[in-house]
């Protein structure tokens, strides 16, 4: 049996502080209905149709069974992608998943009452798998919308309603609970921080809303864990605090930017916990600190273990990355650490990542294995744009053009070039110079996803 992690799931649940949490005490209470919340929310949930000439080829081309799920009963025409979205502003701002509109040439949103409008893509952030659309109308229209909830109020066991358009059959709502918080290593988006729910989520739910009992948005459907292509009761959703950042970025007409911490971290496992004298393996260990970075300026040191940010517990490296990213790029954050067995707190400035060295982008020509690649010098700013560790230095492949030598030999964006024929590559000028040499063979060392790879190619 194959295990699939399908990118269109559901998300989260949160308890509003104004509502007392009690279990049903009688048959009358069991007969209570979610209909009032559904009536309030359903008008703001839409279907998202995006025309994509690459859609059928890209989605499970060798698996007709799964392709049928993506384009099952009621699905859009050949060469299109169907997902869901939720309106978060009366002006017609729609949040959906980035993978729903990844290669879209035309986007339309459809309401449950059969109204349909064209939409413009304002922002697509691949790292979080979120996108923001703007509904286009000839007349000034006020749209129904869902307000954003409070992620801090979310608890395991809270009830949640998942809205979407599964399999293209039409708007559907399912009910479940929050099964777990802060799931990492899900592998759906680079934010790597999800809320798990057992509300039934299926293909077509991507970008749909997860609503709490106060009728507020607490997450965006993102993925399901499945052996068959259908819901097995394990779904993951992007928390609303990340949704808020992406929406605000779209409103301001800028890309999503993460704050720069300026340190390399690693999760504390049992071995590290024993070495550091910790009573349990939690937190993120600072293994490298960049000089003149916000972390260094705040007084943090190598071997400090980050345990909290603004009072939010940090379980591991992934949860640190997510929580710190949601702090924004203005003001300060209170970072709690364990140092020499004692807790301490430091104030870290929230700053945009700087371009500490000029990126000096160069398109490599000639007849080397790098021909057709665009290379840049790494800085925290470039690393942020490419979703790399901001402490990484060197030369990175930012883009590889189609039908070029670089594409044929297998070079990829985000590859970091470490060495070519024994020459250390420290900047783009060095890479361009070495690739101009006429060589009988090429011995290349690159770093990809934290691993070093060696390529030996004939000249």
In angstroms, the CA 333 to CA 317 distance is 17
Evaluate whether residue 25 is within a structural domain: no
Place of tokens 């998300």: 11
Residues 298, 183: one domain?
A: no
Evaluate whether residue 354 is within a structural domain: no
Evaluate whether residue 327 is within a structural domain: yes
- One DSSP character per residue, 272-315 reads HHHHHT-SSS-SEEEEEE-TTSHHHHTT--TT-EEEEETTEE--
Cβ 56 vs Cβ 71: under 8 Å: yes
Residues 329, 417: one domain?
A: no
Residues 268, 251: one domain?
A: no
Residues 228, 118: one domain?
A: yes
The string of pLDDT tens digits covering residues 255-270 is 888 899 999 999 999 9
State residue 442's pLDDT score: 93
Q: Please identify which of the residues 206, 222, 231, 368 carries the catalytic annotation.
A: 206
Task: Assess whether 198 carries a catalytic annotation.
Answer: no
Task: Assess whether 47 carries a catalytic annotation.
Answer: no
Q: Is the pLDDT of residue 153 over 60?
A: yes
Evaluate whether residue 389 is within a structural domain: yes
Count of CB atoms situated within 10 Å of the CB of 195: 30
Name the average pLDDT for the chain. Answer: 82
Q: Please identify which of the residues 129, 316, 318, 415 carries the catalytic annotation.
A: 129
In angstroms, the CA 400 to CA 363 distance is 9
Residues 136, 118: one domain?
A: yes
Domain count, the chain: 3
Half-sphere exposure of 146 (CA within 13 A, CB side): 35
When pLDDT is cut at 50, 70 and 90, the band that residue 177 belongs to is: confident
Chain centroid to CA 158: 24
In angstroms, the CA 422 to CA 419 distance is 6
State residue 76's pLDDT score: 42
Q: Please identify which of the residues 47, 49, 52, 99 carries the catalytic annotation.
A: 99
Evaluate whether residue 22 is within a structural domain: no
Q: Which domain holds residue 398?
A: 362-458
In angstroms, the CA 259 to CA 338 distance is 22
**Domain final residue pick, 305, 321, 349:** 349
Residues 5, 111: one domain?
A: yes
In angstroms, the CA 222 to CA 239 distance is 10
Radius of gyration of the chain (CA): 24
State residue 296's pLDDT score: 95
In angstroms, the CA 427 to CA 282 distance is 37
Report in angstroms the alpha-carbon separations of 99 from 145, 282, 318, 331, 448. 22, 32, 22, 32, 23
Residues 323, 375: one domain?
A: no
Task: Assess whether 114 carries a catalytic annotation.
Answer: no
| Residue bearing the bigger pLDDT, 75 or 353 | 353
Residues 125, 180: one domain?
A: yes
Residues 422, 308: one domain?
A: no
Report in angstroms the alpha-carbon separations of 196 from 38, 156, 269, 440. 21, 9, 23, 54
Evaluate whether residue 330 is within a structural domain: yes
- Which residues, at least 6 apart from 418, have a Cβ–Cβ distance to it below 8 Å? 394, 424, 425, 445, 446, 447, 452
The CATH number linked to 332 is 2.30.42.10
Evaluate whether residue 205 is within a structural domain: yes
- One DSSP character per residue, 230-250 reads S--S-EEEEEHHHHHHHHHHH
The string of pLDDT tens digits covering residues 399-438 is 999 999 999 999 999 999 999 999 999 999 999 999 998 8
Residue 196 in tokens = 């798990």
């Amino acid at each position: 049996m194959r295990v699939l992690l399908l990118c269109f799931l559901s998300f989260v649940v949160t308890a509003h502080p104004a509502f007392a949490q009690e279990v049903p005490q009688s048959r009358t209470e069991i007969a209570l209905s979610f209909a009032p919340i559904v009536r309030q929310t359903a008008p703001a949930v839409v279907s998202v149709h995006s025309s994509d000439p690459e859609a059928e080829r890209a989605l499970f081309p060798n698996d007709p069974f799964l392709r049928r799920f993506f384009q099952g009963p009621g699905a859009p025409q050949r060469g299109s992608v169907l997902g869901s979205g939720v309106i978060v502003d009366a002006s017609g701002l729609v949040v959906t998943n980035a993978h729903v509109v990844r290669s879209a040439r035309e986007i339309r949103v459809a309401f449950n009452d059969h109204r349909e409008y064209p939409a413009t893509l304002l922002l697509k952030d691949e790292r979080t798998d979120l996108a923001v659309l703007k509904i286009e109308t000839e007349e000034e229209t006020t749209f129904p919308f869902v307000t954003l909830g409070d992620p801090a109020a979310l608890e395991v066991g809270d009830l949640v309603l998942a809205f979407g358009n599964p399999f293209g059959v039409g708007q559907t709502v399912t009910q479940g609970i929050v099964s777990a918080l802060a799931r990492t290593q899900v592998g759906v988006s680079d934010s790597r921080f999800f809320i798990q729910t057992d509300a039934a989520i299926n293909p077509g739910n991507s970008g749909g809303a997860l609503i709490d009992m106060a009728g507020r948005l607490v997450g965006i459907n993102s993925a399901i864990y499945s052996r068959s292509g259908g819901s097995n009761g394990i779904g993951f959703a992007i928390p609303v605090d990340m949704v808020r950042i992406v929406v605000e970025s779209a409103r301001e007409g800028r890309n999503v930017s993460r704050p720069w911490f300026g340190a390399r971290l690693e999760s504390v496992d049992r071995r590290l916990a024993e070495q550091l004298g910790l009573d349990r393996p939690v937190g993120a260990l600072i293994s490298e600190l960049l000089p003149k970075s916000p972390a260094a300026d705040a007084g943090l040191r190598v071997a400090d273990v980050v345990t909290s940010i603004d009072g939010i517990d940090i379980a591991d490296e992934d949860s640190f990355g997510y929580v710190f990213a949601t702090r924004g790029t203005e003001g300060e954050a209170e970072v709690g650490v364990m140092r020499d067995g004692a807790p301490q707190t430091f104030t870290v400035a929230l700053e945009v990542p700087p371009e500490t060295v000029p990126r000096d982008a160069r398109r490599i020509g000639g007849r080397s294995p790098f021909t057709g690649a665009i290379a840049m010098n790494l800085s925290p700013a470039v690393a942020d744009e490419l979703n790399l560790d901001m402490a990484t230095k060197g030369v990175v492949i930012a883009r590889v053009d189609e039908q070029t030598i670089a594409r044929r030999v297998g070079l990829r964006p985000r590859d970091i070039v470490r060495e070519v024929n024994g020459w250390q590559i420290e900047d783009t000028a060095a890479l361009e110079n070495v690739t101009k040499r006429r060589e009988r063979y090429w011995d290349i060392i690159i770093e990809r996803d934290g691993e070093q790879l060696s390529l030996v190619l004939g000249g």
